[in-house]
């Protein structure tokens, strides 16, 4: 009987201690003076595909390709580019040289500033995005 009372009392004390436990959340760092919002812009170019059904489709596909290229260029400026390479050398002569560039990121809030259609059917799109304090908090 005494053992049961001690067990119940210890369980009760553990529950009280667990309920009183307060986890301290580390304070979020205050924005520094140099962490002002910055605006970056990039231009992308797109060519119309040869397999387009008509001129309107070719124009829209060229514009879409230019927009994707501009977003990739924005990401390269904001996040950087991961470059990996592999070179095979035999008898002091390069046999194979492979270089790959990869951008792996997420973009949200980019806006099209200007779209230009060129005489050869290609398109150029200029985009911009504002990077605020939230973006800078990603990188310690």
Name the band, by pLDDT with cuts 50, 70 and 90, for residue 140.
low
Query: Which distant-in-sequence residues (6+ apart) come within 8 Å of 37 by Cβ?
Result: 130, 131, 132, 133
Cα 106 from chain centre = 3
Q: What's the confidence (pLDDT) of residue 86? A: 81
Hey, what CATH class is 29-85+99-140 in?
alpha beta
Task: Give the model confidence (pLDDT) of 3-49 as tens digits.
Answer: 666 667 676 666 666 555 555 666 666 656 566 778 889 999 999 99
pLDDT at 2 over 60: yes
Domain boundary assignment for the chain: 29-85+99-140
Q: What is the pLDDT of residue 93?
A: 79
**pLDDT computed for residue 76 by the predictor:** 83
Among 116, 136, 17, residue whose Cα is nearest residue 66? 116
**CA–CA dist 106, 78 (Å, integer):** 10
Residues 79 and 13: their CA atoms lie apart, in Å, by 51
- The pLDDT tens digits for 65-104 are 999 889 888 888 877 767 777 888 888 777 887 877 776 6
């Amino acid at each position: 009987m005494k053992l049961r009372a001690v067990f119940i009392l210890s369980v009760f004390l553990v529950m009280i201690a667990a309920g009183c436990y307060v986890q301290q959340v580390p304070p979020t760092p205050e924005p520094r003076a140099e962490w002002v919002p910055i605006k970056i812009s990039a231009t992308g170019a797109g060519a119309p595909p040869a397999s387009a059904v008509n001129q309107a489709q070719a124009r829209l596909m060229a514009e879409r390709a230019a927009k994707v290229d501009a977003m990739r260029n924005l990401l390269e400026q904001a996040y950087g580019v991961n470059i990996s390479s592999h070179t095979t050398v035999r008898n002091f002569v390069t046999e194979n040289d492979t270089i790959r560039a990869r951008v792996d990121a997420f973009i949200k809030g980019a806006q099209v500033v200007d779209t230009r259609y060129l005489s050869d059917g290609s398109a150029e799109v200029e985009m911009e995005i504002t990077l605020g304090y939230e973006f800078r908090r990603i990188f310690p």
